C-alpha cells in the first residue's frame, strides 16, 4: 500500500488565517501535539517574516525531533539564509522555497518575466541545497500557470536538486479532474521525477481543497499539505482530519496509508481552537460538535440499533469520547426513553406518551432539550399520573414526589 506523507502547515499557512496568530510558546505547544498526531512534516513558520517566526522555527527545530521541520523562504538569498539559520539545530531540516509562476503574478506582483522567474527558481533551489539536502520547491499559483511553462520550471528545479515538488492551488481555483491532469502531465514530462515526491497544497475557496488533494494523490502525488481544522488564508486549506479519515474510511477508493494517529485528531482540533480562540464550526466534518450528534428520530432509532446505520467511523477512532443523541423536535420516543433511562428513570408506555407529548411542545420552543429541561417535565408528568391513580385532588398534586420506578 502506498504511503502518503502528511505535511502540516498549521503553524505557517494556517497561522496566516485572520485571527489565528500564535506566539512562540503556543506554536511549540501545537508542534508537540502535531508530533503526537504523527504528521511527517511540520512547516513551523516563515523565518524572514518576523523575529517571532524565526524564534518559533528555531525552538521547534531544537525540541521536536521526530518529524521533518520545514521553514518557508522566497527565492531570495536573505530568506533562504534566514531559514537555514532557524533550522541549524533541526534533526531533519527542510527548506521550502517558493516563487510565483502564473502570468498574473509575474506581471502584477513580481514585475518579472518568465525567463527571470526561471532563473530565480534555479538560483533559489541551488542556494538552499548548499544548506540542507531536503529542499522543497513550490511554484506559487501553479494551477493558473501555463502548463508548458509550469513543466519547464519544475524540470529546472529538479535539475538543481529539489527533492519535493509542491503544486499549490494557491487561490482554490482548480477542480479535481483538472488538478489530476496537471499532476499527471508533470509526472510524464519531467526527467528524474521518479526520484522526486510530488506534493499537493490546496486552498478551499471553492470548497474543494480535500477533493483536489485526493485527486492529486490518485494521479501520483505522494504528499498532501494540510492544516488542523482546515485553517488558512481566506477560506482555508485542506483539513488534515478530512484527508486522513477519507483515506482511512475508503481504502477501496484510496488504497494508501498515512502515519497519522487518528485518535489524536480531536485533541489537536480542540487545542488549536483553544489557542487561537477560533471555534470549530458545529457541522465541521470529523471534529465539529455535530459530527457525531443525531437528532432526527429515524436516525436515533438506527443508531440505537447499530451505530453503523448512520456513522461511517466510530467517534473513538478520531478521539471523540462518544456519539450524542440530541433531544430536539425531530427526536422520537425511543431516544427520549433512552435519555430518561440514562437519568435513572423508567416509565410505562402511557407515561412515556405523555412525557413525549409535552417534550415535543417544549422542543418547539427551545431547540435542544437538555437534562435540566427534561427533569422537571418528568417529575410533573409522573406527579399528575400518580395523583390520578390515588384520586388526589389536582390542587394537591404539585410537588408530589417521584414514586415512579428508578433504574
> Residue 163: CB partners within 8 Å, gap ≥ 6?
133, 134, 135, 136, 196, 197
For 128-174, how does the pLDDT look when each residue is reduced to its tens digit (9 = 90+)? 999 999 999 999 999 999 999 999 999 999 999 999 999 999 999 99
pLDDT more than 70, % of the chain: 84
CA-to-CA distance for 307 and 289, rounded, in angstroms? 17
Q: Write phi, then psi, for 144 (nearest 5 degrees).
A: -110, 15
In DSSP notation, 108-121 reads: III---HHHHHHHH
Q: What is the dihedral of CA 339, 341, 343, 349, to 10 degrees?
A: 80
The answer, yes or no, to whether residue 246 has pLDDT greater than 50, is yes
In DSSP notation, 150-175 reads: HHHHHHHHHHTT-SEEEEEETTS---
Q: Long-range CB contacts (< 8 A, 24+ apart) of 314-318? A: 315/291, 316/263, 317/245, 317/248, 317/262, 317/263, 318/241, 318/245, 318/262, 318/263, 318/265, 318/266, 318/286, 318/287
* Residue 40 grid cell: 511527517
> At 201, which helix (H) or strand (E)?
strand 197-202
> Residue 83: CB partners within 8 Å, gap ≥ 6?
47, 48, 57, 71, 72, 73, 95, 96, 128
Q: Averaged over 310-336, what is the pLDDT?
A: 70
* Residue 318 grid cell: 478520531
C-beta of residue 158 within 8 angstroms of C-beta of residue 124: no
For 97-130, how does the pLDDT look when each residue is reduced to its tens digit (9 = 90+)? 999 999 999 999 999 999 999 999 999 999 999 9
Number of residues assigned to the chain: 407
CA nearest 110: which of 126, 95, 94, 121? 121
At 258, the pLDDT band (50, 70, 90 cuts) reads: very high
The answer, yes or no, to whether residue 255 has pLDDT greater than 80, is yes
Three-state DSSP class for 95? strand
CA-to-CA distance for 101 and 319, rounded, in angstroms? 41
HSE, side-chain direction, 13 A CA sphere, residue 65:
4
Query: Which of the following CATH numbers is that of domain 2-276: 1.10.3210.10, 3.30.300.30, 3.20.20.70, 3.30.420.480?
Result: 3.20.20.70
The 8-class DSSP code of residue 399 comes to T
The answer, yes or no, to whether residue 399 has pLDDT greater than 70, is no
Q: Which has the minimum average pLDDT: 69-83, 236-250, 340-354, 376-390? A: 376-390
Q: Write phi, then psi, for 39 (nearest 5 degrees).
A: -65, 155
For 276-298, how does the pLDDT look when each residue is reduced to its tens digit (9 = 90+)? 999 999 889 998 877 766 545 55
* Residue 280 grid cell: 470549530
Check residue 363 and give its pLDDT: 75
Residues of the chain with CATH 3.20.20.70: 2-276
Three-state DSSP class for 203? strand
Check residue 362 and give its pLDDT: 74
This prediction's pTM: 0.83
pLDDT more than 90, % of the chain: 67
Q: Write phi, then psi, for 121 (nearest 5 degrees).
A: -60, -45
> What end-to-end distance do the CA atoms of the chain give, in Å?
50
* Residue 302 grid cell: 438506527
For 348-358, how does the pLDDT look when each residue is reduced to its tens digit (9 = 90+)? 787 788 777 77
CA-to-CA distance for 156 and 118, rounded, in angstroms? 7
At 402, the pLDDT band (50, 70, 90 cuts) reads: very low
Amino acid at each position: 500500500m502506498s504511503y502518503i506523507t502528511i505535511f502540516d502547515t498549521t503553524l505557517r499557512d494556517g497561522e496566516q488565517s485572520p485571527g489565528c496568530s500564535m506566539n512562540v510558546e503556543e506554536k511549540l505547544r501545537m508542534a508537540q501535539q502535531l508530533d503526537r498526531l504523527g504528521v511527517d512534516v511540520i512547516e513551523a513558520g516563515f523565518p524572514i517574516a518576523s523575529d517571532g517566526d524565526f524564534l518559533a522555527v528555531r525552538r521547534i527545530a531544537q525540541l521536536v525531533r521526530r518529524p521533518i521541520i520545514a521553514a518557508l523562504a522566497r527565492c531570495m538569498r536573505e530568506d533562504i539564509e534566514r531559514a537555514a539559520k532557524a533550522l541549524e539545530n533541526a534533526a531533519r531540516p527542510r527548506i521550502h522555497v517558493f516563487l510565483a509562476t502564473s502570468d498574473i503574478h509575474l506581471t502584477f506582483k513580481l514585475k518579472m518575466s518568465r525567463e527571470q522567474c526561471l532563473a530565480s527558481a534555479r538560483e533559489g533551489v541551488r542556494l538552499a541545497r548548499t544548506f540542507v539536502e531536503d529542499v522543497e520547491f513550490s511554484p506559487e499559483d501553479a494551477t493558473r500557470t501555463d502548463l508548458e511553462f509550469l513543466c519547464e520550471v519544475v524540470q529546472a528545479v529538479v535539475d538543481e536538486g529539489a527533492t519535493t515538488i509542491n503544486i499549490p492551488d494557491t487561490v482554490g481555483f482548480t477542480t479535481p479532474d483538472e488538478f489530476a491532469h496537471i499532476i499527471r502531465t508533470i509526472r510524464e514530462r519531467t526527467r528524474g521525477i521518479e526520484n522526486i515526491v510530488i506534493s499537493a497544497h490546496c486552498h478551499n475557496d471553492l470548497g474543494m481543497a480535500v477533493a483536489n488533494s485526493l485527486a492529486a494523490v490518485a494521479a501520483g502525488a505522494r504528499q498532501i499539505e494540510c492544516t488542523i481544522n482546515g485553517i488558512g488564508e481566506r477560506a482555508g486549506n485542506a483539513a488534515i482530519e478530512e484527508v486522513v479519515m477519507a483515506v482511512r474510511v475508503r481504502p477501496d477508493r484510496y488504497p494508501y496509508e498515512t502515519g497519522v494517529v487518528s485518535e489524536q485528531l480531536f485533541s489537536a482540533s480542540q487545542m488549536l481552537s483553544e489557542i487561537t480562540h477560533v471555534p470549530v464550526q458545529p457541522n465541521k466534518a470529523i471534529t465539529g460538535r455535530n459530527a457525531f450528534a443525531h437528532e432526527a428520530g429515524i436516525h436515533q432509532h438506527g443508531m440505537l440499533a447499530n451505530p453503523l446505520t448512520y456513522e461511517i467511523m466510530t467517534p473513538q477512532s478520531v478521539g471523540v469520547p462518544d456519539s450524542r443523541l440530541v433531544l430536539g423536535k425531530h427526536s422520537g420516543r425511543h431516544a427520549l426513553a433512552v435519555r430518561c433511562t440514562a437519568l435513572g428513570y423508567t416509565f410505562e408506555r402511557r407515561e412515556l406518551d405523555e412525557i413525549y407529548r409535552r417534550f415535543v411542545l417544549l422542543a418547539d420552543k427551545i431547540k435542544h432539550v437538555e437534562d435540566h429541561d427534561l427533569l422537571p417535565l418528568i417529575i410533573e408528568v409522573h406527579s399528575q399520573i400518580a395523583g390520578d391513580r390515588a384520586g388526589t385532588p389536582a390542587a394537591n398534586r404539585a410537588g408530589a414526589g417521584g414514586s415512579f420506578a428508578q433504574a
